[in-house]
Amino acid sequence: MKPMTNLNPAPAPRKSTGSRLLSALYASVWRWHFYAGLIFAPFLIILAFSGSVYLFKPQIEGYLYKDMLTVREVGTQALPADEIVMRTMQAYPGTSVSSVTFVDDPGATVKLGAVRNGVAQTMYADPYTGNIRGMLDNDKTFAAFFKKMHSELVVGGTWANRLVELAACWGIILVITGLYLWWPRNRSAIWGTLLPRLSKPGSRQFWRDLHAVPAFWLSLCIVILIATGLPWSGVLGPQIDRVANATHTNYPPYALSFLGTPESVTVTKDVAEDIPWAAEQLPVPESAAGGYVKLTVDEVTGIAERQQIAMPFTISMPQGERGVYTIATSHTRPGDNATLHVDQYSGAVLTDVRFADYGIMAKAITLGIALHEGRLFGWPNQLLGLITCLGVILIAFSSYVMWKKRKPAGKLGAPGKPADARATWGVLAIMIVFGLLMPLVGLSLLVVLVLDLLVIRRIGRLKHWFSA
Amino acid sequence: MKKKRWIGTTGALLLSLAALLSGCTAQTGTVDEQGLRPHLAVDLQLPAELAPGESGQVTLDVALLGDPITAEVIFAYWPEGEPGNAVEAAASSEDKGRYQTDLVLPEEGIYVVRAQVAADGLEVMPAKWLAIGEDAVRQLAVLEAAQAQEAPAAGGGGHHH
C-alpha cells in the first residue's frame, strides 16, 4: 500500500494543541475537497469544455454559416422589411415570421425568426433581393448543441440542469477549500504556491503543482465565472431574483422581452366588435369604416430609430389583435440594452426600459451574463474565459493523475478522518452554511450524511474503502 | 457643540447613503396602474357612411394620462397600397384634444386614413381603413380578416443561455 503523503506546504506536525487542531482542520478540509472533486470534476470538465467552445460562438458560427449570414452582393437599396417578410411567407407556405433582426452591416442578411410547420427556425434573407440564403432549426445549430451541453449535459431535462447547477455550486466550494489547502504555511514557500515546481516531470509534486498553482491564479476567475452563471440556474436563480425584488434592485417591469408584454391600448374596444357586414347573410353597405390598421415593420423600425435604439435590434411581431410590437436589443453591449413595447396600431411607446433603469442587482446580473458569455469587453474577455475553462480542465486532470498516483489498491484513497472531532464538526458547520446559501448543496449534504450514517458506517468493507 | 456636529455628520452620511441606494434601485419612472409609461391615447373616428365626392368628417380625440391635450395633428389619406399618393389634410380644433377634418374621396375603393400626432415629445400615428362602394366593402372584409390572421406563432423566445 502506498503511503498517504501530503505534498502541500501544510502545517508541520507540532506538539501544541493549536497546531494539532490546525492539522485536523487541514485534514478535514482536504477530505471534503477530495470527495467534492472526485464527484464533480467530470461535470466541471464538461462545463468548461462546452463553455470554452460557446465563448467563440460569433466566430465559429460566422465561419460555419458564412453563406447564410452574408449577402452575395451588396445592393444599392434594401427592400422594405415588410416586403421581405411577405415574400418569404409566400415563397415558403406554412411559414409564420415572428421577428426581424436588423444589423448595422450592409453585407449582412436580415435574420427572420420564424415558425415553419411547427418548428422554430431562423431564416436568413438577402435584404436586396428578398431571397432566403438559408435557414436553420433553432435547436440544431452548432451553438444550440454546446448550449445544451453546458446547461443540460446534452441529455436535457430538469435533472440534468439541476446536476449542472449542483456541480457549479460545488465548484465554488472546491475553490474555497482548495485555497485553504493551497495557503502557504511557510512564508518562504514561493515554489509550489505562486510558481509550479516542474523539475521532476511525472512526479506527484509535478502534478500537485500543476493542480494547485493554476488553481490559485484562476480561483477568482473561476468563482466569477460560476457566480455569473448562477442567476439563470433553476434553483438558486429564483432565490437571487427574490433578493433583488425584495431590495428593489431587480429589473423593472417589462425590461426583458421574453417575460410577458402589455397589450395594445388603441383597440381595447374595437377588437371586441365583430364586423357585421362581413357575415354573408347581411346586405353589404355602400361604405364602411374598418378597424385600425396595423403598423408595418418599417414604421416600427422608424420608431426604434427615433428612440435611438442601437443596432442590432430585433422587432418581434404582435401576438394577436391585442398584442404589441416589441423592440429589443440582444446579445450586444449591456449598456445599450433596451426593451420597448409599442402599440401595434397607434405606434405609442407603451414601455421603454433601458439599462440605466435597471436596479443595481439587475445591472450586475446583466454585466455578469455578458462577462460569462465573453462579450463584455471583446476578444480579451473571450481569451480570459478560454484560459479559465482550459485551466479548469487542467486542474481537474492533474487532480485525477495525483489521485491515481496516490490511490492505494483496494481503497478509494480518500484522505483519512481528522483525529480531532472538533475539526470535523467545525468544517461540517461551514458546509452547512454553504448548504443554506446554495439549496442544492444543502440537499446533497443531507443525502451524503444519510448515506454515511445509514450505509457506509454500517458496512465494514465500504467503511474501509471510504476511509470513513 | 460636539453633539450638534455629530448629528450633522450622521445626517449627512444618512442622506448620502439614501441617495446612493436610490441610485441602486430599479427606475420605473411615471407609470400607470398597468405599468405603462405616459403615452398618447387616441380615438380616430371615420364617417359611418360616405359616397364618392361627398364630404364626411374625420375626428380624432387625443389624451395624455386621461386628459385631453393640445397636439400637432396632420391628417392624411391614400388609396390602400399606395402610400406614395398620400394627400394631407389640415386639422382644425374647437375643443382641446379634439381634432377634425373634412374628407372628400373622389372615387370608390379602399382608403387608409391616418392621423400623425405629436404632443409633449410623444408621437402616435393611428390609421383606419375606409371602404367606399360594395366591392370595396367586400375587399375590406377580406383585408380585415387577413390582418386578424396575421398573428405569428410564438417564436420560442426565451433566455439566451
What interface predicted TM-score (ipTM) does this complex get? 0.84
pLDDT at residue A272, rounded to an integer: 41
CA dihedral (A437, A443, A446, A451) positive or negative: negative
Between A421-437 and A17-54, two packed helices, what is the crossing angle to 10 degrees? Answer: 30
pLDDT at residue B156, rounded to an integer: 42
pLDDT at residue B14, rounded to an integer: 60
B34 contacts A330? CB cut-off 8 A: no
Taking alpha carbons only, the member of B52, B44, B53, B45 closest to residue B131 is: B52
Return contacts of A38-41, CB within 8 angstroms, 24+ apart: A38/A403, A38/A412, A39/A170, A40/A166, A40/A167, A40/A170, A40/A171, A40/A174, A41/A396, A41/A399, A41/A400
Name which of A292, A362, A369 is nearest B127 (Cβ-Cβ). Answer: A292
Q: Cα separation of A266 and A277, whole Å?
A: 22
Q: Cα separation of B148 and A82, whole Å?
A: 16
pLDDT at residue A457, rounded to an integer: 83
pLDDT digits (tens, 9 = 90+) for B84-134: 999 999 999 989 999 999 999 989 999 999 999 999 999 999 999 999 999
- Distance, in angstroms, between A45 CA and closest chain B CA? 19
B144 contacts A290? CB cut-off 8 A: yes
pLDDT at residue A467, rounded to an integer: 73
Q: Which residues contact B121 (CB under 8 A, 6 or more apart)?
A: none
CA A417 to chain centre: 37
A448 touches chain B (CB under 8 A): no
| Residues A439-453 as b or e (16 or more Cβ within 10 Å = b) | bbbbebbeeeeeeee
B27 contacts A252? CB cut-off 8 A: yes
B128 contacts A292? CB cut-off 8 A: yes
Mean pLDDT by 10 residues, chain A (468 residues): 44 65 93 95 97 96 96 95 95 94 95 94 97 96 95 91 97 98 82 92 93 97 97 94 94 83 73 50 76 94 95 92 89 83 95 93 94 94 98 97 88 86 94 96 94 86 77
Higher pLDDT, A152 or B17: A152
pLDDT at residue B108, rounded to an integer: 95
Contacting residues of A for B111, CB less than 8 Å apart: none
Local structure of A197: helix, strand or coil: coil
Place of cell 462545463: A47
What residue type is A268 in one-letter code?
T
pLDDT at residue A357, rounded to an integer: 93
Local structure of A384: helix, strand or coil: helix
Contacting residues of B for A265, CB less than 8 Å apart: 36, 39, 41
| Interfacial A residues in 153-172 facing B (CB < 8 Å) | none
Taking alpha carbons only, the member of A189, A220, A223, A218 closest to residue A205 is: A189
Minimal Cα distance from A331: which residue of B? B160
Q: Which residues contact B88 (CB under 8 A, 6 or more apart)?
A: B74, B75, B76
Cβ atoms of B156 and A316 within 8 Å: the answer is: no
A122 touches chain B (CB under 8 A): no
Contacting residues of A for B140, CB less than 8 Å apart: 288, 290
Name which of B36, B136, B151 is nearest A262 (Cβ-Cβ). Answer: B36
Q: E strands within A269-425?
A: 287-292, 313-316, 324-329, 338-343, 349-354
B126 contacts A347? CB cut-off 8 A: yes
Taking alpha carbons only, the member of A287, A266, A313, A284 closest to residue A101 is: A313
B49 contacts A285? CB cut-off 8 A: yes
The C-alpha cell that represents A187 in the structure block: 512564508
pLDDT at residue A286, rounded to an integer: 83
Minimal Cα distance from A275: which residue of B? B141
A425 touches chain B (CB under 8 A): no
pLDDT at residue B157, rounded to an integer: 41
Contacting residues of B for A258, CB less than 8 Å apart: 157-159
pLDDT at residue B33, rounded to an integer: 79
Local structure of B9: helix, strand or coil: helix
Local structure of B91: helix, strand or coil: coil
What is B40-149's CATH superfamily? Macroglobulin (MG2) domain (2.60.40.1930)
Place of cell 346586405: A283
pLDDT at residue A282, rounded to an integer: 64
pLDDT confidence band for B148 (50 / 70 / 90): confident
pLDDT digits (tens, 9 = 90+) for B21-61: 556 888 877 888 788 999 999 999 999 889 999 999 999 99
- Distance, in angstroms, between A75 CA and closest chain B CA? 23
Q: Cα separation of A175 and A219, whole Å?
A: 6
A346 contacts B40? CB cut-off 8 A: yes
Local structure of A442: helix, strand or coil: helix
Minimal Cα distance from A358: which residue of B? B26
- Distance, in angstroms, between A441 CA and closest chain B CA? 22
Q: Cα separation of A306 and B116, whole Å?
A: 15
Contacting residues of B for A257, CB less than 8 Å apart: 157
Name which of A286, A291, A351 is nearest B144 (Cβ-Cβ). Answer: A291
What residue type is A95 in one-letter code?
T
A275 contacts B144? CB cut-off 8 A: yes
A251 touches chain B (CB under 8 A): yes
For A106, A373, A428, B111, the CA distances from A71, given in Å and listed in that order, are 9, 27, 61, 37
For A85, A137, A300, A391, the CA distances from A80, given in Å and listed in that order, are 9, 25, 12, 49
Q: Cα separation of A110 and A146, whole Å?
A: 24
pLDDT confidence band for B155 (50 / 70 / 90): very low
Output the furthest CA–CA distance in chain A (Å, rounded): 107
Return contacts of A237-243, CB within 8 angstroms, 24+ apart: A239/A439, A240/A361, A240/A365, A243/A361
B79 beta partners = B111
